[in-house]
Structure 1
Amino acid sequence: MSSEDVSLQPSSSPGGPVSREEMYAEVWRLPMTKIADHHRVSSSFLARVCTRMNVPRPPRGHWVKLANEIPSPQPPLPESGPGDLQVWRRGDALGAVSRPVPKAPVPRKIKPEQLRISRSRRHPVVVGAYEVFEQGRVIDQGFLKPGRQRLVDVVVTKPQLEPALKLANQLFLKLEAAGHRVMFAPSDRTYARASFDEHEHPPKKPRPRYPALWSPSKPTVVFVGTVAIGMTLFEMTEELEARYIDGKYVPTSKIPSQQMRRLSPTWNWSTRMDFATGRLCIRAFSPYPWTDWSQSWKESKQGSLRGQLDEIVQQLTDAAPVIARLVEEAEEHARIRQQEGMEQIRRREERERIRLQNEAKEQAKTDLLSAIKHWDDIKRIQAFFSDAENSVSNLPEAARCIAMDKLAQARELVGELDPLKALLEWKGPRER
């Protein structure tokens, strides 16, 4: 093989392992089809691998331009982000990636000029969400429940859908401007969406809700460094006195006084019901298991949160070291629990081993005593036949023939007498 042929071959081993850096170098040196053939996968699958590794690929027409000596720019390899695949091997599931240890960046004060954003720009997490939410069914209190679950974590009524998505979009863009990545939770580890009470003033005793509010399949998270912080934007509810009018409950405060006077106290009575307030709440939480941290920002009046977004970005940035410490403590406790669990298993297995060992000894002893008894029985029977044969020899011929015939029948009835057979069939404790 010539040196030119060697240079046109991928440098990595067929099937991997291939690091991000190696994959980046290969896809910009050789066409995807050649690299895919080298690793014995399809080019479309290799494209998915590059996406999971956050490795930029040459655009369409790149190799044609190079063949015609036309420049085609090559972007640099971006820094590895949360959830990015670090090493790939053929046969690996693309969801399985190395589990990074959350680490917060050095605390810093974010300057207001850093958080200036374009009002027309839309964050990828929010793009397309309005149409899906709008087509969702409406449940109690008017909350929307879309058919899809891979959506931005927004729980609101239809009138507040547009304001909520605009608020989420502004917050996400400001977080990105501060250097924090907003995305759906990746698959590098377990990220759980924390439950919440939508009441503006949660009752002392939580009440079950049916049907349940919509929840996404993956939480929406912002990465401050490599520390994930979950975010939910929801519309709050409040408990009000209500009357049942024309097939629905209406807050008493919204019923005109003239209509109230016409209501019959016999057929219409007041009760207390939950109603959407039209005011939003941004709730941040730790998505890591066994960590309890959350913080909420509530609107005192509609639209008041828009003026607090810069402050919220700073507070989320400051919260990252707190969450990182909680995760470290939780993982240490999990490690201790795992060690304790393994020690319990070891002790249980040791107890079981000793029990089986003692059981084997007892059974071996019982079987040995049985073999000894069987030996004694055989010796006693053999002694009987030996004495009988000696005694028969002294009888007259006619009686001796009868006695010998009887002894033959007796031997046939008793069968083979081998005292060593029982000993050879016996199993000692170490054989069990």
Structure 2
Amino acid sequence: MITDPTTTLTREQLYERLWSTPMNKLIGELGTSRIALIQLCDTHQIPRPDRKYWATILRGLSPDRMPLPSGLSGSSPIAFTHQAPSPAVLVRKTIAQLGDDVPKIEVKPVMEVADIKHQNKQIWPEGGIMPYATPKMAARARAIENALVDAMAERGHQSGDDHRPGNSQPWFRIGGERIRYYLYEPDHNQRHYFTKSELKAEPFWVGGKGWEQRKVPSGSLKLGIVADYGISKLTWEDERGRALEDQLGEIIIAMEVVSAVAAKATAKRNEQAHIASIRTAEKERREHKAYLQDQRWERLCAVADGWHQAQRIRGFLAAFKETVAGDARLMRRAAKWGAWAEEYLWSIDPLPSDPEEVLRRLRKPKRRLASYEYEEDFY
């Protein structure tokens, strides 16, 4: 297997690999998909062997190869980016490597209950779901679940169950990751032909066919596992000559492999979230710094505007006093009005006041100010 993240092949090298290695094996070595490899071959005009070619090789013969077309202009090296295998592929490889070391799980039978509703109620205490059609199937599912829980406990894994209204969700915690599993009896569609009494009672059921599709229990068990984040569901079910009880060892290995994949995905997701939080905090700091600078500039402009307005009013008062200097009556009235104007000037002119007060108005604010605080500082 190729361990480099990227593999580069020339057109001639890819031609040799295609005609010496089956495509199912080659796509695993190159870390690509079958469709992507076919598209690359069509783009670079690389012929591919068909099934007859490999069948002839299996018979011990040496078939002829289709020649590689020459004279392709602008041909560049072909890069293959190695993709991480899916959890299903990792599970198959791990089980193949273990071989006979896959644990054997003993399933102890459980006594059947005559009442199937009572049996389902024992398995799903919250009620609302009746996943098994017969007491025999319900007892078998209970035995498989008990064997699975005991085997996982021996391997040091915690088990639990999230009881929800009308449902129950069992899970195992492996290495900090929670793996949920589903054990149920699947159903399938089957034609139901109406009897004469049914046709007479409900003629609209027929629909011109005399039968309808109905879901009936399959008579087999199916178990699926799924991690909490980003892992597709893996399933096992009864097969010919191999019941679900014989596959529990592989299911346990699959749970441990899936938990390792989920742990890596969780670590990567946490790292991305941490980087995103750092970027967000840096952006907020820049925005806050720009806001404080804007606030400081607005304070400076407000103080300068107050000083400029005060100078204009003082000039106007001086000119007005010169105008009424010869009239005693107007001077008395202007004196009262001038006293009021001088008192108002002290409130808008920052320079005659305490220098500390002026610096307090001009200093850089340490936090975002509300509109009413901003107005009280200047007016």
Scaled by the length of structure 2, what TM-score is found? 0.51
Q: CA deviation at 1:232?
A: 0.7
- Whole-Å Cα distance in 1 between the matches of residues 215 and 285 of structure 2? 63
CA shift digits 1:253-273 (9 cap, x unpaired): xxxxxx9xxx99997534541
Please point out which of 126, 134, 138 is paired with 1:149.
126
Letter in 2 for 1:149: E
CA shift digits 1:330-376 (9 cap, x unpaired): 22222222221232233223223322322332232233123212102
In the other structure, the counterpart of 1:323 is 255
In the other structure, the counterpart of 1:273 is 213
Letter in 1 for 2:223: R
- Whole-Å Cα distance in 2 between the matches of residues 278 and 400 of structure 1? 117
Is 1:426 the counterpart of 2:334? The answer is no
Q: CA deviation at 1:234?
A: 0.8
In the other structure, the counterpart of 1:345 is 277
Q: Counterpart of 1:218 in 2: which secondary structure? A: strand
Q: CA 1:381–1:345 in 2, change beyond 3 Å: closer, same or farther? A: same
Q: Counterpart of 1:417 in 2: which secondary structure? A: helix
- Whole-Å Cα distance in 2 between the matches of residues 109 and 147 of structure 1? 30
- Whole-Å Cα distance in 2 between the matches of residues 216 and 387 of structure 1? 91
CA shift digits 1:120-157 (9 cap, x unpaired): x65xxx98994535789xxxxxxxxx994279x96123
Q: Counterpart of 2:168 in 1: which secondary structure? A: coil
Q: Counterpart of 1:280 in 2: which secondary structure? A: coil
In the other structure, the counterpart of 2:68 is none
CA shift digits 1:258-304 (9 cap, x unpaired): x9xxx99997534541231452223242455433342332377xxxx
Q: CA deviation at 1:233?
A: 2.9
Q: CA 1:346–1:229 in 2, change beyond 3 Å: closer, same or farther? A: closer
In the other structure, the counterpart of 1:237 is 188
Is 1:167 the counterpart of 2:167? The answer is no
Q: CA 1:298–1:358 in 2, change beyond 3 Å: closer, same or farther? A: same
- Whole-Å Cα distance in 1 between the matches of residues 295 and 151 of structure 2? 74
- Whole-Å Cα distance in 1 between the matches of residues 245 and 288 of structure 2? 63
Question: What does 1:220-259 correspond to in 2, within 5 Å?
Answer: 230-240=181-191, 242-243=193-194, 246=197
In the other structure, the counterpart of 2:118 is 132
For structure 2, the 5+ residue unaligned runs are 1-94, 368-379
- Whole-Å Cα distance in 2 between the matches of residues 275 and 149 of structure 1? 24
Letter in 1 for 2:216: A
Identity of aligned residues (%): 11
Kindly indicate whether the alpha-carbon contact (under 8 Å) linking 2:141 and 2:221 is maintained by their aligned counterparts in 1.
no
- Whole-Å Cα distance in 2 between the matches of residues 402 and 180 of structure 1? 105
In the other structure, the counterpart of 1:416 is 344
Question: What does 1:10-409 correspond to in 2, within 5 Å?
Answer: 108=101, 115=106, 117=108, 122=111, 130=116, 132-133=118-119, 148-149=125-126, 155-157=131-133, 160=134, 162-172=135-145, 185-186=159-160, 216-219=167-170, 230-240=181-191, 242-243=193-194, 246=197, 268-270=208-210, 272-277=212-217, 279-286=219-226, 288-298=228-238, 308-309=242-243, 312-386=244-318, 388-389=320-321, 395=326, 399-409=327-337
In the other structure, the counterpart of 1:86 is none
For structure 1, the 5+ residue unaligned runs are 1-103, 137-145, 194-213, 249-258, 301-306
Q: CA 1:289–1:314 in 2, change beyond 3 Å: closer, same or farther? A: farther
In the other structure, the counterpart of 2:82 is none
- Whole-Å Cα distance in 2 between the matches of residues 346 and 268 of structure 1? 67
Q: CA 1:265–1:335 in 2, change beyond 3 Å: closer, same or farther? A: closer
Q: Counterpart of 1:329 in 2: which secondary structure? A: helix
Q: CA deviation at 1:180?
A: 6.0
- Whole-Å Cα distance in 1 between the matches of residues 304 and 293 of structure 2? 16
Kindly indicate whether the alpha-carbon contact (under 8 Å) linking 1:364 and 1:427 is maintained by their aligned counterparts in 2.
yes
Task: Between 285-294 and 174-183, report the one with greater CA deviation.
Answer: 174-183
Higher helix proportion, which one? 2
Letter in 1 for 2:132: V
In the other structure, the counterpart of 2:44 is none
The total of aligned residue pairs comes to 259
Kindly indicate whether the alpha-carbon contact (under 8 Å) linking 1:367 and 1:426 is maintained by their aligned counterparts in 2.
yes
